Amino acid sequence: MRHRSTKKILGRGKAHRRSLTRNFVRSFFTYEKVRTTETKAKVMKSEIEKLITIGKTDSLKARRDIIKKIGSNTLATKIIKDISPRYKDRKGGYTRIMKIGTRSGDSAPEVYLTLV
């Protein structure tokens, strides 16, 4: 039973959800904008914002924590050197969800997840 469970499972198992999160975050930091469903965007928003907050402190531990989450040295460098310095004076809310309508195949609500 899943009493008091607050994590969205997105209709996937644990391993599939972990790889979905990792791939989603990688593509978000690569392009800085992703088109996806509303539920996925709400789940991934917190993961993305945590990584940007970690990247604000340019240290070896921060770099290792980001690499552990996304598995890419080049993206970790991009987060620490390019993206996080933009938000050094901001305490949170680095991403924005913009609704764009519904998907034609299954009428799922689609959104753009972008950096502010």
Residues 101-111 have pLDDT tens digits of 999 999 999 99
Q: Which CATH number fits domain 32-115: 3.30.1700.10, 3.40.50.720, 3.40.50.300, 3.90.1030.10?
A: 3.90.1030.10
Q: Would you state the pLDDT for residue 114?
A: 98
Q: Is the pLDDT score of 15 beyond 90? A: yes
Summarize the confidence of residues 54-66 as an average pLDDT: 97
Number of helical H runs and strand E runs in the chain: 4, 3
| Amino acid in position 9 | I
Q: Would you state the pLDDT for residue 5?
A: 81
Q: Would you state the pLDDT for residue 3?
A: 86
Q: Where are the domains of the chain?
A: 32-115
Q: Is the pLDDT score of 2 beyond 80? A: no
Strand partners, 35: 112
CA distance 62 to 13: 28
Across all residues in the chain, what is the average pLDDT?
Answer: 95
